[in-house]
Amino acid sequence: MSQQAKNRDQGCNLIGVGQYNERLVLQLIRRAGSLPKVEIARRTSLSAQTVSVIIRRLMNEGLLCEQERQREKGKLGQPVIPITLNPQGAYSIGIKIGRRSLDTILIDFTGTVLKRLSLVYHYPDPAVIFPKIQQDIHQLIRLLKPEQHSRLLGIGVAAPYDLGGWQSEAHIPPEVTQQWHEIDIKQQIQAQQNLPVWFVNDATAACMSSLECGGGAPFNNYLYIFVGTFIGGGVVLNRTLFLGSHNNSGAIGSMPLPTGLFKTPHNAPAQLINCASRYLLDEALQALGQNPENVLQQLAELPPTQLSAELHTTFQQWLDQAATCLAYAISAAVSVIDFEGVVIDGLLPAPLIEQLKIRIEQIWGNIDTEGLVHPQLIAGTVGGEARALGGALVPFYVNFAPDREVLLRTERETISLA
């Protein structure tokens, strides 16, 4: 761990910063899954007594609990009991508004999805989406017992900043595109809710899930790439989300590609979104009369010999194209920020994400990257749930993370993106 990152994890024993230390302890436990008190003290540089006081207070508030299974005994023969998050300590609702689907989930304090409600569509229609969101929220709230309602912290919404953008690629009618240009998504949902609502870019939300869930990415600084209907991304620096001046860091889909790298009509300039997004693969499979979801599952589960040559070739063509363009995009990103690693996740079965990662590594070897340090590439582990889960984590982040100002800042700024 770098010295900068190490210093960020260190707490302080001074009077008046107890709230920060509590947030620090909660974040450490969330990212680790569980930790004994002695390890919490070591990682935060807080005294054992201070850690014990914080743990006791958070347990009394119902946010932490002792893990039932005891680990090895300590030096004095006493059992070492890991401390973990109490699943019933808090709840949150996450909403993902995508270009092809809507997901609304209820999670507990550990990030476990208790219930998921979904709607698939050809394009995002506000007249359909917002009534469905209200219906889903009411349905999820009814799942909680009366005594759990006070622990429901709020609603996190993850969506592209411009749902009406890239109209031709998304096949959105012009009148619907115009509606999205005029809609404030957070305000639209908040107007019907007593619970607080937060809004975050969908790729940023997915990046947050990679940071906070599934063991997290093993890097202090990394580029996160999410291969969704449209490809997007996020940036993590010193184990903290980095949103940038306009809350738009990691907008990798808008990265321009070298002329000639990707074939376009009349050799026009292209963005990464035009060659590495899943919508391209879906359209190619649909042109063959296939259901993309079914084909991708078959590609993930069956050997090539059990698939038609046509389907296998179609996928490989998309894979090669996407990997080639991503390899160039990653080299461009690394030339600006010396990332330790790159996390690649998306709306593809895990084996196909792994194939994409491997192909990018192969192509990277053929690119002139003199002067750059090759980042470690890993496949993400959250998958298609990443954006909705990241949205649901926002209320936890705002209420409990030591660096919550990263997201609270977005509440105070006007976002204006072309």
pLDDT, tens digit, 9 for 90 and up, residues 306-358: 889 999 999 999 999 999 999 999 999 999 999 999 999 999 999 999 999 99
DSSP3 helix / strand / coil % (the chain, rounded to 5): 50, 15, 35
At residue 246 the predicted structure's pLDDT band, cuts being 50, 70 and 90, is confident
90-207+386-412 and 3-85 share a CATH fold: no
Q: What is the pTM of this model?
A: 0.88
The DSSP H or E segment spanning 310 is helix 309-336
Distance in angstroms (rounded) separating the CA atoms of residues 233 and 162: 15
- CATH, range 90-207+386-412: 3.30.420.40
Q: Where are the domains of the chain?
A: 3-85, 90-207+386-412, 217-380
Fold of 217-380: Nucleotidyltransferase; domain 5 (3.30.420)
Angle 184-187-189 (CA atoms, 0-180°, nearest 5)? 110
What are the start-end ranges of the E strands in 73-174?
Answer: 83-85, 91-97, 101-108, 113-120, 152-159
The 10s digit of each residue's pLDDT in 13-35 is 434 345 889 999 999 999 888 99
Mean pLDDT of the chain: 88
Query: What is the identity of the amino acid at 89?
Result: G
Q: Which CATH architecture has domain 3-85?
A: Orthogonal Bundle (1.10)
